[in-house]
Chain A
Amino acid sequence: MNKADTILRIAHFSLSFSQQHTSVQAVDDISFSLSRGQRLAIVGESGSGKTVSCLSILNLFDESPIAHSSGQILYEERNLLDTNAPLINKIRGNKIALISQEPMSAMNPITKCGKQLSEMLRLHSNRPINTHKNHILQLLEQVQLSDPERIYQSYSHELSGGQLQRVQIAMALSTDPEIIICDEPTTALDVTIQQEILTLLAELTDMEDTSLLFISHDLSVVTQLCDSVIVMHEGRIVERGPLPETFSHPQHAYTRALLQSRPTIKNQNKVLPTVTEIISGQYQERPRPVRQLGEEPILTVKSLTKTFDKKNHLFSRSSQTVVATDDVSFELRRGEVLGIVGESGSGKSTIARCIAGLYEYEGQISYLGKAVNPKSYQADLELRQKVQMVFQDPYSSLNPKMKIGPSLVEIIRQHQKVSKSVAKSKAIEWLHSVGLDETYYDRYPDGLSGGQRQRVCIAKCLCTQPEILICDEAVSALDVSVQALILNLLDQLIYELGLTILFISHDISVVRYISDRVLVMKEGQIVESGETHSVLDSPQNAYTQRLVDAVI
């Protein structure tokens, strides 16, 4: 890498946000450079400062929340931190483009995609206006969208997540940028689509010799696409180097922790190590608790069908019926973890909600041999409450106006006639069993992290003394290290309380780690089922094959 090739250089950049009286150091003295054609990954967990530092390159931060920023971000010998607005507008979007995580919110919902693309060209390119449309259609073809003319005329809500991400890539490419910043561009997408997008990004940047700054928390995605990596932790760069060597021989303990706390085939039978354990060097391999698998079915689902009516138009009377699950049957045995995998829209969450009683449905669901009323949750309340559910988003799963302790006490007293003080001591017991101490009793959910919140959610479920716990993408929104903690916790709870778990996830490696049996779903139907290792190690169905292949 010689000096002339360096197009972006970040030198001793620090940034802190102001909170009422104190300031929080988001980025602490980082330096790195990006050369032409390089694909540089920045990895780290949430709060590590990876997104903040990259958005600072584009000056996309408001003045007000920033207390202090120092250092230099040099592009074409110019410090972007000091650049005035008209100049930065010429650079961003034009020379440095951004692809963001949420393709839906990155597009203007009331303007057609084609128009948004031509706006980019009008602002940044010197082409004659009458050639714009042709150029855009070419771009859309280049990002492998099958019907460019239709996409050109579509609004963002008419396209799928994968299509929108392609449109975003087309938009980023439209001005022939020198650098593309990708902020978790594939995190919100299904695995198979993620794979296609990554290949596309690799091909296109190769062709134009564009540099890529790729922000991600997903180490496997990064290994696949990028040629060098920066690992960030708490605002600092802890390790940097070429890929895949950095990941195969990590020097820093944090990098090692990130790599080892992911569930893989190798650590299938061990308790997952946590980041603190590895950094402090206290991790010892220990075997996972052995499960007591029963043969009797605790829950039987027979030809479960759920349809949604979807209104087409504001004024049209006809409505379209969407089949979410189509004639699904399976059984859940006592003490096991049944994984359900599938991409978004495969109907896996719908099953969870039908079982929990949040939806009405057709078909039959029975607990312990007793069928419940599909139309009314209230009718079989006692039976239903043996089933509890942990949701994906830990931030919306707790009442922000209620302390954690009282919210547990409330549930305990609903189910057992006990005095307040007895309920309180029970609540503290449950907090202990999910790994939180009694200081959490008097706290509001506000200051809790995602992992802590998810623990509280699990504690709340346990308060009803359930037999079955449904985890609907319960670890998907969490960082890898936190994910490992929650998976360990579930493992332990299964062992201690004899819980039966229905584990729904799109993440094959997590499902492989935690479940005994697995169902693979596609478009509302079960395409394959059986013992986890036999299904995922030697998939019979072509779709399962694709899902497994997409994970490295």
Chain B
Amino acid sequence: MRGIDTIRATKWYQWLAVGYLVLMAVFALFAPLLSESFLGFAPNELTGSDLYYTAPGSVEQDGRTHLLGTDRMGRDVATRLIYGTRTALFVGLGVSVISLLISLVLGLAAGYYGDRGVRMNSWQLIWIAISAVVSGFYSSVFGFGFWLIGVLILIGSIAYLLGRLSERRISVPIDLLTMKGIEIFKTIPGLFLILSLFAIMRQPGMLTVILILGLVSWPAKTRIVRAETMRLVSSNFIKSAQLSGLSDWRILHRHILPNVLAPISIAVAYTFTGAILAESTLSFLGIGLPEDIPSWGAILREARDYFAAWWLAVFPGLAVFFTVLTLNIIADWLNQR
């Protein structure tokens, strides 16, 4: 029945999930403060040589306690877990934002313009094709960075100016290109793609990890955005917006985007989870973040070397488990609303 909202009462575990998320944010923001004042260790501090692989609760000579034990090199696990929260949130957020941006741009364009809406002259086409190949090549050789956005803006504005050269336009099948792109992308197994991208990179840092994970997680969301956009375009309110003379840009960001954000936010929450898991996997395999950045996956990896050190497996394992569970609960919650 129309007009009746079916908002269900918030369940206790949903509040718990929100609380957990807030706690994580606090840990991430105040990681140095917390570890300095409560634990007294720095994340990469090597304690006394006889204190590697010590069990939770063991005490240093100067009276400091390793609440959750130490690892292979005598670093404090509790401190590294707190700093790992920072890494996890940073990676999750970064990956979500990047893949959301890509999927919104491609999905909205493909869904709104379809195969006939975008029209360019031949100069523009040639310029965009060449610059896409060149910038793609150089960015993979020199590593990605935020200068890429500047390059994209430059390419775009030159393409805009070229548009004045000739009035003869060819329609670009942007929908077809996007969908075929997704299909090609989907034929390559995800982990295989990530591994080979890391093989190209010489020194992967945090930014590289985020960019690579972001670049491989756009297809599913692009499909959702495209389908949702197509549904909206065929609805009467978009038709009447077009008839009343509003510009494409205005229709896209004022009328379509707000209606697309609700369904896509669920997918983004799952991406967030997926990114944290993927980062842990990569660190576990030893190919992700550099050694000096503490992450849950990196601690987990150390458990592999010395089986008896159960605390190296259990605590970071629990951290990953609860974070993923929390985010899934929140994603489900968004789904119901």
Contacts and interface: CB of A to CB of B under 8 A. Distances in A.
Interface of A: 17, 19-20, 24, 65, 356-358, 377, 381, 384-385, 387-389, 391, 393, 395-402, 410-411, 414-415, 446-447, 457, 460-461, 463-464
B188 interface: no
Interface in B193-245: 235-237, 239-245
Given A399-B255, A400-B259, A447-B3, A385 B240 contact: no
A454 to B, nearest CB: 11
Contacts of B3: 446-447
Contacts of A402: 254-255, 258
B29 interface: no
B236 A397 contact: yes
B11 interface: no
Contacts of B242: 358, 377
A385 B255 contact: no
Interface of B: 1-7, 235-237, 239-247, 250, 254-255, 258-259
A357 B239 CA distance: 10
Nearest to A377: B242
Given A20-B5, A20-B7, A391-B236, A399 B246 contact: no
A478 to B, nearest CB: 14
A540 B247 CA distance: 47
Contact of B237 (A20, A398, A411): A398
Contacts of A357: 243
Nearest to A20: B7
Nearest to B8: A20
B82 to A, nearest CB: 40
A464 B258 CA distance: 24
Contacts of A393: 236
Contact of B244 (A19, A385, A447): A385
Given A20-B5, A410-B254, A447-B3, A399 B244 contact: no
Contacts of B259: 399-401
B237 A399 contact: yes
A388 B239 contact: no
Contacts of A397: 236-237, 240
Contact of B235 (A358, A384, A396): A396
A358 B239 contact: yes
Contact of A411 (B2, B4, B5, B245): B245
B295 to A, nearest CB: 38
Q: Which of A393, A399, A400, A447 has the most CB of B within 10 A?
A: A399
A391 B239 CA distance: 10
Q: Which 10 A-B pairs have CB atoms at the shortest separation, nearest pair first?
A: A401-B258, A397-B236, A391-B236, A396-B236, A411-B244, A396-B235, A399-B237, A385-B245, A464-B244, A399-B255
Contacts of B246: 410-411, 414
Contacts, number: 72
Nearest to A401: B258
20 contacts: A19-B4, A24-B4, A356-B243, A358-B242, A358-B243, A381-B245, A385-B244, A385-B245, A391-B236, A393-B236, A396-B236, A397-B237, A401-B255, A402-B254, A402-B255, A410-B250, A414-B244, A446-B3, A460-B244, A464-B244
Nearest to B235: A396
A384 B242 CA distance: 11
B3 to A, nearest CB: 7
A388 B243 contact: yes
Nearest to B6: A65
A457 B240 contact: yes
A448 B254 CA distance: 21
Nearest to B262: A401
A408 to B, nearest CB: 10
Contacts of A395: 2
Contacts of B240: 388-389, 391, 397, 457, 460-461
B184 to A, nearest CB: 23
Contacts of A398: 237
A19 B7 CA distance: 9
B5 A463 contact: no
A414 B245 contact: yes
A39 to B, nearest CB: 28
Contact of A415 (B241, B243, B245): B245
A387 B250 CA distance: 20
A391 B244 CA distance: 13
B241 to A, nearest CB: 8
B7 A388 contact: no
A234 B151 CA distance: 64
A396 B244 CA distance: 16
A460 B235 CA distance: 16
A337 B143 CA distance: 66
Nearest to B232: A399
Contacts of B235: 396
A414 B240 CA distance: 14
Contacts of A391: 236, 239-240
Contacts of B255: 399, 401-402
A460 B245 CA distance: 11
A461 B245 CA distance: 11
Given A19-B4, A389-B239, A402-B258, 7 more contacts: A65-B6, A388-B240, A397-B240, A399-B237, A410-B254, A447-B3, A460-B240
Contacts of B254: 402, 410
A461 B244 CA distance: 7
B237 A396 contact: yes
A415 to B, nearest CB: 7
A447 B247 CA distance: 28
Contact of B245 (A17, A24, A457, A464): A464
B18 to A, nearest CB: 20
A24 B255 CA distance: 32
B113 to A, nearest CB: 13
B6 to A, nearest CB: 8
B57 to A, nearest CB: 50
Contacts of B5: 19-20
A140 B140 CA distance: 68
A194 B119 CA distance: 47
A475 to B, nearest CB: 15
Q: Which of B236, B239, B244 has the most CB of A within 10 A?
A: B244
